[in-house]
Amino acid sequence: MARQSNIVRIVGNDSYEKLRSTKCLLVGAGGIGSELLKDLILMEFGEIHIVDLDTIDLSNLNRQFLFRQRDIKQPKSTTAVKAVQHFNNSKLVPYQGNIMDSTQFPLHWFGQFDVIFNALDNLAARRYVNKMSQFLSTPLLESGTAGFDGYIQPIIPGKTECFDCTKKETPKTFPVCTIRSTPSQPIHCIVWAKNFLFNQLFNAETNPNLNEEDEEENKDWGTTDLDEINRIRQETNELQELQNIVVSQQENRIHEIIEKLFVHDINKLLLIENLWKTRTEPTPLDITNIQNVSDEPSKKLNLSEIWTINDQVQQLVHVTKKLMKRMPKEQNHIEFDKDDQDTLEFVATTANIRSHIFNIPIKSVFDIKQIAGNIIPAIATTNAIVAGLSSLISLRVLNLLKYAPIKSPTDLNMAFTAKASNLSTNRYLSNPKLAPSSCNCPVCSKVVRGVVSVSSTKYASLTLQNLVDLIKDKYEYTDEISVLDTKNQRLLADFDFDDLLNKTLNDINLTDGTVIMFTDEDEDENGLCHKPLELYLDITETLPTGLDIRLPELEIPLVKAITSEEATAEEEEELSVEKNLTEENIIVLDEEEPSTKKRKIELEDEQAAKKTKSEVEDVIELD
């Protein structure tokens, strides 16, 4: 009761009623998410739905205060809800799942919320939720922290900057040849051990066997040089042999793996004279290091100390045996996890042996854990400050604060810690006003977005022509309209292509979640045409009875038509960015996607996902 009267004192009776009927979505129940859940409950939001894909890990307990030791391996979302039940006056709905899974969380599911809070730790999911909020015009409170830094950005779709309006820091990348042939820093050897070697040996799905002809043909080798392709092919086949040793648990052949990686492969590299003209040559591992490995159980080594090479090799043999034994129990697929001691020690010892060979300083296991796990220490206080501000700002976003009403969304403020905002004056927090959408943002400015909802019964018979007619009618387009499936840039119709118009949406694979783009190809006498329109296809059972299709109420402004030269210039610019990325043949720290149970580091965006296999990337992300 005391809590309620305090809130009423701040927001007033009417706003309190509104607060009680507000439904919010909280994405992420980690560091910021745990804090936010507590804050939203204390503020007495009516309904809070919490999504998190992960389970609780020991390393979360220092700051994710809703979790205890006994909760390890339990889903974060349900555990968080259980932990707050005793002081909770809100309806809480937990989900374990990836927010980007449109089967579990279709767009109309997002549509039930009045406001969304992001408490995520990766760009891909942040971008995805930002896009959903734009389609639905649902306000989003975006937030993140890294160490002592943090930010909160309220996003009012159509009115203020979206998450993608400003360019995000580019991920750390390394050229493939540095990683594979000429490492010069500890990080290069760690990336090699973690992203390349570990995956090849302990993930039997990363099957380097290329006997399949199709695969062979479609393979992007990253080069057209036949000798180079043959060398990579041979290396890949040899790796397959090493993987076979691991999968068939031939412990007595572990020394062969070590010899191949640290003696034979290095000798082969030494033959490429060009590489060593300006660099110090590597020295293959002394074979006696391998022969000296004893069968004794390994001695207790201090994880914060730097081990001798003998100890590195001894420990590598020991931990490889342990991982081999785990393979059948884990369906021949073990993933690197900084908190899994076996995987960490494998990566640490192989990285260190490689460093030793290339005259690079060796690191302790503890140091390698920090680097391989991309750990920027998470500070509980920063999370608490950011979550507190995010929940407070949400009151202004929902216009519930009687003493600070908002007249225009750009009256709202973001909040940054001093360092994150580069305003390192004598203030810890800065709170600039929100900017309007950037006119170049591909997510919120270049197109108008909305949702077309189609009842599942109508969907079966709806043709593309039917849909185009409805769009033309509703938004006053002329006949010259082109239609594109944005997922694969497939042209569906334009003034001289009408083959698909009489097919049903289902026939041409326009399924739930497809984003269809309609472009006005006809400019008026003033050289103006409609801004392109992107509609999210939402097949739903929840339309009001009697309604089969619902088109969004949107104003589609007339804009200056892009001339064909401008369009070509734009395309060329995009292509050249893509080309540069491919040509550099970049390798980055991690290619793991969050669709599986664990996610550590993410692909930066879909474009990166399309890069060749060898071009994985590293993203050090904000929590």
Ligand X SMILES: Nc1ncnc2c1ncn2[C@@H]1O[C@H](COP(=O)(O)OP(=O)(O)OP(=O)(O)O)[C@@H](O)[C@H]1O
Please report whether residue 443 would count as binding Zn ion according to CB under 5 A: yes
- Residue 277 CB, nearest distance to ligand X (Å)? 42
DSSP string, 313-374: HHHHHHHHHHHHHHHHHTTTB----TT-HHHHHHHHHHHHHHHHHTT-----HHHHHHHHTT
Here the tokens at position 383 are 């999370």
Please report whether residue 434 would count as binding Zn ion according to CB under 5 A: no
Question: Footprint of Zn ion on residues 563-602 (CB under 5 A)?
Answer: none
- Quick count: other Cβ atoms within 10 Å of Cβ 565? 8
Find the helix packing angle between 341-357 and 365-372, rounded to 10°. 100
- Which of 59, 78 has the CB closer to ligand X? 59
Positions touching ligand X (CB under 6 A) are 27-31, 33, 51-54, 59-60, 76, 98-100, 120-122, 125, 378, 594, 599, 623
Question: In the complex, which residue's CB is closest to ligand X?
Answer: 30
- Residue 578 CB, nearest distance to ligand X (Å)? 25
29 is in an annotated binding site: yes
Judge residue 137's burial from the number of C-beta atoms within 10 Å of its C-beta, 0-12 exposed, 13-18 middle, 19 or more buried.
Answer: middle
- Which of 135, 477 has the CB closer to Zn ion? 135
Please report whether residue 448 would count as binding Zn ion according to CB under 5 A: no
Please report whether residue 165 would count as binding Zn ion according to CB under 5 A: yes
- Integer Cα distance of 202 and 25 in angstroms: 38
Our answer to whether residue 177 is catalytic in this structure is yes
76 is in an annotated binding site: yes
Pick from 293, 351, 441, 529 the residue near Zn ion by CB under 5 A: 441
- Which of 147, 158 has the CB closer to ligand X? 147
Beta strands across the sheet bearing 490-493: 490-493, 481-485, 515-520, 533-540, 448-455, 549-550
Please report whether residue 36 would count as binding Zn ion according to CB under 5 A: no
165 is in an annotated binding site: yes
Q: Are 381 and 65 in contact (CB under 8 A)?
A: no
- Which of 100, 441 has the CB closer to Zn ion? 441
30 is in an annotated binding site: yes
Q: Are 549 and 453 in contact (CB under 8 A)?
A: yes
- Residue 99 CB, nearest distance to ligand X (Å)? 4
Work out what residue 165 binds among ligand X, Zn ion, none; the CB cut-off runs from 5 to 8 Å by kind: Zn ion
Pick from 37, 48, 162, 493 the residue near Zn ion by CB under 5 A: 162
List, in sequence order, every beta strand (DSSP E) within 462-611.
481-485, 490-493, 515-520, 528-530, 533-540, 549-550, 558-560, 586-588
146 is in an annotated binding site: no
- Residue 97 CB, nearest distance to ligand X (Å)? 7
- Residue 588 CB, nearest distance to ligand X (Å)? 18
- Residue 153 CB, nearest distance to ligand X (Å)? 16
- Which of 301, 376 has the CB closer to ligand X? 376
Q: Which of 177, 189, 439, 529 is catalytic?
A: 177
* Closest by Cα among 489, 498, 491, 496 to 465: 498
Work out what residue 543 binds among ligand X, Zn ion, none; the CB cut-off runs from 5 to 8 Å by kind: none
* Three-state secondary structure string covering 196-252: HHHHHHHECCCCCCCCCHHHHHHCCCCCCCHHHHHHHHHHHHHHHHHHHHHHCCCHH
- Which of 162, 510 has the CB closer to Zn ion? 162
Work out what residue 162 binds among ligand X, Zn ion, none; the CB cut-off runs from 5 to 8 Å by kind: Zn ion
Pick from 239, 269, 444, 543 the residue near Zn ion by CB under 5 A: 444
Work out what residue 582 binds among Zn ion, ligand X, none; the CB cut-off runs from 5 to 8 Å by kind: none
Residues 6+ positions from 250 with CB-CB distance below 8 Å? none
- Quick count: other Cβ atoms within 10 Å of Cβ 223? 12
Q: Are 531 and 556 in contact (CB under 8 A)?
A: yes
Residues 6+ positions from 411 with CB-CB distance below 8 Å? 433
- Integer Cα distance of 200 and 146 in angstroms: 31
Here the tokens at position 211 are 């006997």
Work out what residue 29 binds among Zn ion, ligand X, none; the CB cut-off runs from 5 to 8 Å by kind: ligand X
- Residue 475 CB, nearest distance to Zn ion (Å)? 22
- Which of 32, 468 has the CB closer to ligand X? 32
- Catalytic residue list: 177
Write out the binding residues for Zn(2+). 162, 165, 441, 444
Binding site: which residues? 28-33, 52, 60-63, 76, 121-126, 162, 165, 441, 444
**Footprint of Zn ion (CB under 5 A):** 162, 164-165, 441, 443-444
